[in-house]
Structure 1
Amino acid sequence: MTRQLTIGIHLSAASDTNSIGPAIDEQIAFVQRAEAAKLDFVFKADYLVAHPALMAKTKTTVNLDPSLLFATLARETTHIGLVTTISTSFNPPYVIARQLQSLNWISNGRIGWNVVTSIDGAKNFGEDAMLPSQQRYEKAKECTDVVHQLWHSYPYEAMKAKGDMEKIQASVKPIHYEGKYFKVEGPLSVPMHPAGDIPLFQAGASDVGRQFAATVSNAIFAATPTMEAGIALRKDLRQRAQALGRSADAIRVLPGLYFFIGDTYDEAWQMYYEAHAHLTVERKLQSLQAVIGKDFSDLGLTDTITIDMLPEITDAIRSKTHATLLRDYVANYQPTLEQLLWRPEVIGSAHLVAIGTPKQIVNQIKTFYDNGALDGFIGVPGNNASLTQFYEQVIPLLVESGLFRQKYNGSTLREHLQL
């Protein structure tokens, strides 16, 4: 039997309202709607720095702590997975392990952990600068190892020995961990949920990020705006997983699918342009400079950009993943400056962009899936109209094609992911 698509959705600011504040009721309705469509999970990113541009973009949702938010959403839902984001760079393993296991009990086994190393925020945690990428991932690996040890330090079976101190002491044991970054005694004060290990998600696409993902992750949030990028990433991750003794199917590659869906192709494109109408050429040039490390404001919009015009990628670049994707695009297509400025790596987050009618969106998803470019995706709705089309048209078409479930076959995130 062919494994079906894994589909999540980003708890984003896809709202046409002008309300100011956390809008909790809207977010509850958002997640309940996703659950009604039988999606695998809802995902929420997290930001540890108050970026002005992000604050302006997400004014209707406010950047609430995702783990605290999901504690509320867990009580308003029954089946859908809830994937929270927690940084290993600034949070002690004991706190992470306790929070996640608590959420797993609150949600009855529906929590997932998006493991991030963060690219900024050090000064908000008493540190002068971020560790280099290699060290951040080294610390993340140690942190996830400790978290797993803590989860297993208080097994679910120990709860059956209630009142029997001798049996409890025999099964609930300290971990006595001492490593390069952490020193943790244990055991954890929260027992393991019977659903089993909490699924891990990760988004790093650099070489060290891929190796980390291949080692610990069940799914990777992929920055793959083209089929070629998706095929290459998925093939590489599967090979790395096998080299580490894991199954090639152990990791799901889930690109962000930034979608605009209309009754006609032209209507969908109009939605896309309207969504980015606020981005002036000057602002897009600034964004391009931040991604690639070079100012192109002296060029005309019709000027051709070639690979020799781009600087080498250095540690000064904010995101090596986005910079690499742009370099590959330029090398393959020699775009005009205007075409480059409309790239998702410049105006968005290097998501896979899907623009068209419901049938066209489904065909695009199916083509990527059939060619081994993805195992599923995380929906990022461009606006409310597209979100409605997604639920009312796209999901039913995917169900009809056999690529997605008609009903939940379990109640935990591990069951949804077929782990």
Structure 2
Amino acid sequence: MSDQQRQLSLNAFIYPAGHHESAWRHPLTTPERLYDVSYFQDIARTAEAAKLDAIFFADGPALRSDVEHGAAGALEPITLLTAIATATERIGLIATASTTYFEPYNLARLFASLDHISRGRAGWNIVTTGTDLAAANFGLAGHPDHADRYARAREFVDATVKLWDSWEDDAILIDKAAGIYADPAKIHEINYVGRHLRVRGPFNAPRSPQGHPVLVQAGASNEGRAFAGQYAEAIFTAHQRLSDGQAFYADVKQRATQYGRNPDHVKILPGISPFLGDTEAEARDLEREFNELTSPEYGLAQLESLTGSSVRHLELDAPVPAGLFGDAGDVTDNQQSRLQVIAGIVERESPTLRGLLHRLAGARGHRVVVGTPVQVADTIEEWFTQGAADGFNVMPPYYPGGLEVFAEKVVPILQERGLFRTEYSGATLRDHFGLPRPASQYADASGAVAL
């Protein structure tokens, strides 16, 4: 596919007050509205008016952040997106849910319901949960290790998709005269048996408008890349440099090809957090305002959570030792993707600890771009045309204004350059991403067990 035919995908990643860790303290934000559904409906309408592909919520089943110094906690995203679905018409709706702390049947019902209610706009961001804080919330003695979580995740996705597919598309007849609602021969038990999961089926609802919700994934470790190549239709990732983004892009597309998939149906969407100003100096002043509001205690806790390394013995204004994160690996052989990003910042920039905390305060390792709308658009275009991205997860440092400025000033530049739509051409998230509607795997299956 040529660059002239390609169109950017742009999502608004909603992090309640904004992606900068001190956003809740800034006068441009309204943290008192973080549990007000109308706040999120307004943000979604802004994204939809700009013709963005989707809004996206991260989530986890534990209180991870330092609630004393940060706006921690959040509404459950599938419930929230259902409310947002009723206030919007076209914008895609992507929620995060864990394969470690759900079961396939109940999660399949939640996402299928969202897809039906939204008329085909649902996406599932598949995570295995990275924090061991979650285990105690579910009565478990410990959090499963990395390999076991991914092994369960593969079974989980296989079983969930089989449930969604267990009704063939033409199973419902609604023959009032004959008194036949559905054809039981077209509704199948899945009888899934794995090492971690057993699910009989069939599902208790027909296939949703998209066939099944779009499968999204965010892990960039070696296990995460292998999982993405096999299953993901969109991939959220974090890179600081164009060359790292290009290497990741090529690697995941190749993995998808090895699984017999069309690499054009795997969308690579790095995170980008734009501080925008009419001049570069104005943008830098705005970033400085946010950084001056940060709490070192909060930043240290976040850094230790991301890296698994103790840093509290270091002086805030002394350089971070070059070898502190030396076991992070590199972009082609990494086990801990975010640790590798942070190690790269330390290696290239030799920041002080305070400087590193400020670098991460903006978007937790995702790329922060500070500049004018043209400069931000130039960065997006470069990554898109140079084989590093199919689009971006836009991560405004503050909400709602950061998204409003991006929509008002950056999106029109991308549209003028022919890189982004001026109108929606379809109604579903699959339409927006340019993804096909999958057929039920049971439609032509022989020997399937019918209901």
Given the alignment, which residue of 315, 331, 356 partners 2:371? 356
Mapped partners of 2:343, 2:163: distance in 1: 42
When residues 122 and 290 of structure 1 are mapped into structure 2, their CA distance, relative to the original with a 3 A threshold, is: closer
Residue 19 of structure 1: SS of its match in structure 2?
helix
Work out whether residues 173 and 180 of structure 2, in 8 Å CA contact, stay in contact via their aligned partners in 1: no
Out of 191-200 and 86-95, give the one that drifted further: 191-200
Alpha-carbon displacement from aligned partner over 1:341-371 (angstroms, at most 9, x marks no partner): 3333x66321111111111110111112122
Asked if 1 retains the 8 angstrom alpha-carbon contact of 2:10 and 2:53, the reply is yes
Partner of 1:77: 88
Q: CA deviation at 1:387?
A: 2.4
Aligned residue runs from structure 1 range 11-26, under 5 A: 11-12=14-15, 13-14=17-18, 16-19=29-32, 22-26=35-39
Paired residues, number: 411
2:167 is the counterpart of 1:154: yes
- Report the AA paired with residue 252 of structure 2: L
User: Which of 94, 104, 124 pairs up with 2:137?
Assistant: 124
User: Could you tell me how far 1:286 is from its partner in structure 2?
Assistant: 4.6
Residue identity matched to 2:419: L
Pick closer, same or farther for the CA change 1:304–1:134 going to 2, 3 Å.
closer
Change (3 A) 1:145 1:284: same
Aligned twin of 2:104: 93
Question: Which residues in structure 2 correspond to 1:283-302 (within 5 Å)?
Answer: 283-292=298-307, 293-295=309-311, 297-299=313-315, 301-302=317-318
1:396 pairs with one of 404, 409, 412: 412
Greater displacement, 320-329 / 76-85: 320-329
> Given that residues 161 and 168 in structure 1 are in contact (C-alpha distance below 8 angstroms), is that contact kept between their aligned partners in structure 2?
no
Provide the rounded CA distance (Å) in 2 between the counterparts of 1:409 and 1:387. Answer: 22
What displacement does 1:157 show?
1.1
Q: Quick one: structure 1 residues 303 and 94, their matched pair in 2 at CA, closer, same or farther if it must change by over 3 Å? A: closer
Structure with the larger RCO, 1 or 2 (CA within 8 Å, 6+ apart):
2
In structure 2, do the counterparts of structure 1 residues 151 and 38 end up closer, same or farther at CA, with 3 Å as the change threshold? same
Q: Percent identity?
A: 34
Cα offset for 1:334?
A: 4.1
Structure-2 change in CA distance of 1:169 and 1:365 (3 Å) = same
Partner of 1:48: 61
Q: 1:352/1:54 Cα in 2 relative to 1: closer, same or farther (>3 Å)?
A: farther
Deviation track 1:162-194 (CA, whole Å, cap 9, x = no partner) reads 566596111012111111111111110110024
The residue aligned with 1:67 is: 78
The SS at the match of 2:110 is helix
From 218, 221, 226, the equivalent of 2:233 is 218
Counterpart position of 2:194:
179
Whole-Å separation in 2 of the counterparts to 1:173 and 1:19:
48
Structure 1 contact 284–347 (Cα < 8 Å) conserved: no
> Secondary structure of the equivalent of 1:340?
helix
Residue 31 (structure 1) aligns with: 44
Distance in 1 (CA, whole Å) between partners of 2:253 and 2:299 is: 35
- Counterpart residue identity of residue 55, structure 2: V
Higher share of residues assigned helix: 1
CA distance in 2, matches of 1:237, 1:21: 35
TM-score for the superposition, normalised by structure 2: 0.85
The 1:167/1:25 distance shift into structure 2, 3 A limit, reads closer
Distance in 2, Cα, partners of 1:144 & 1:162: 34
Cα 1:227–1:161 shift into 2, 3 Å: same
| TM-superposition CA deviations, 1:222-253 (whole Å, max 9, x none) | 01122222111111101111111112222111
Deviation at residue 147 of structure 1 after TM alignment = 0.7
**Preserved contact between residue 93 and residue 122 of structure 2 (Cα < 8 Å):** yes
Q: CA offsets per residue over residues 116-172 of structure 1, 9 Å max, x none?
A: 111131111121111111111111111010011001111231112556659611101
Which of 8, 12, 30 pairs up with 1:9?
12
Q: In structure 2, the residue corresponding to 1:180 is in which secondary structure?
A: coil
Mapped partners of 1:172, 1:130: distance in 2: 36
Task: State the match for 1:105 in structure 2.
Answer: 116
Partners of 1:260 and 1:34 in 2: how far apart? 17
Query: Aligned to 1:78, what secondary structure does the other structure show?
Result: coil
Runs (5+) with no aligned partner, structure 2? 19-27, 330-334, 436-451
The yes-or-no answer on 1:245 pairing with 2:260 is yes
- Provide closer, same or farther for how the CA distance between residues 310 and 183 of structure 1 changes in structure 2, counting only shifts above 3 A: closer
Q: Tell me how far apart the structure 2 counterparts of residues 300 and 97 of structure 1 sit (CA, whole Å).
A: 47
> CA-atom RMSD, angstroms?
2.3
Where do 1:182-221 residues align within 5 Å?
182-221=197-236
Which position in structure 1 is the counterpart of 2:149? 136
Q: 1:18 to 1:80 in 2, by over 3 A?
A: closer
For residues 326-345 of structure 1, the C-alpha deviation after alignment (integer angstroms, 9 at most, x for no partner) is 2233334444545433333x
Hey, what does 1:418 align to over in structure 2? 434
TM-score norm. by structure 1 comes to 0.91
CA gap 1:18/1:222 in 2 versus in 1, 3 angstroms? closer
Q: Contact between 1:254 and 1:374, CA under 8 Å: does it hold in 2?
A: yes
Q: Output the CA distance in 2 between the equivalents of 1:388 and 1:92.
A: 38
Match of 1:279 in 2: 294
Whole-angstrom CA distance in 2 between matches of 1:202 and 1:3: 22
Letter in 2 for 1:113: W
* Most deviating of 94-103 and 290-299: 290-299
Deviation at 1:83, TM superposition (A): 0.5
Shift of the 325–43 alpha-carbon distance from structure 1 to 2, 3 Å rule, reads same
**Structure 1 residue 392, shift from structure 2 partner:** 0.9
